[in-house]
Structure 1
Amino acid sequence: MERIVNTSNRVDVVIAEIDPEAVEITYGDQGESVEAVDVAPYPTRRIIVLAPTKQAGQEHAESLGIEPVAIVTPRSPHASYGMVADEIAEAPGLSVDVVGELMQHAGPSLATTGGE
């Protein structure tokens, strides 16, 4: 097996060449149906939580099984400044207007907005 490793200051990439005939692919029973699936968040995802209070944000994060990089509240709308996040989660108890206000502060922290 030959490995080619390209390294940069951002990402390490390993490309491996394999013999396709040496790989055995098996499929599960295709007749099974799934009504609901709980998917745990990827443990290294960076998530900002919008919440009415810090305590409510922490409780929501614990219920999701995550450790947020910031909890943005009406009293601390700048909590995510300088952070980079992959996702923003909303805790229950926020009005649409408050979510819109908090998103103006937290939105630029999303990795997809070019803030990185």
Structure 2
Amino acid sequence: MPSAADSFIEELAEIVAAKVERRVMERLQELISELATPNPAEELPQNLTVNETAKFLRISKPTVDRLISKGSLPSFTIGSRRRVRREDLIAYVDSLVRGSSR
């Protein structure tokens, strides 16, 4: 049979563990939130492939190809590979945002 002191220590340990766990969970949630909302422009490579561009815009590769062929989205080639400059992609998205706010 545990003594009163043992019971007190056990109860105190549970309280401390609950508070530590709560603080750890709160901090983990903060970190996850920070990681989930990065600045996408900072993480983009200088020159994106068509697939990377499509993934960033959350559209299909053929749609990116159409935007490029129409001249809506500037691009260049390296050998036979098409690339989109990060600055051009950001400018394209900005133009869409400005156009939709009219």
Return the TM-score normalized by structure 1. 0.27
TM-score normalised by length of structure 2: 0.29
Between Structure 1 and Structure 2, the one with more strand by share is: 1
- Structure with the greater alpha carbon radius of gyration: 2
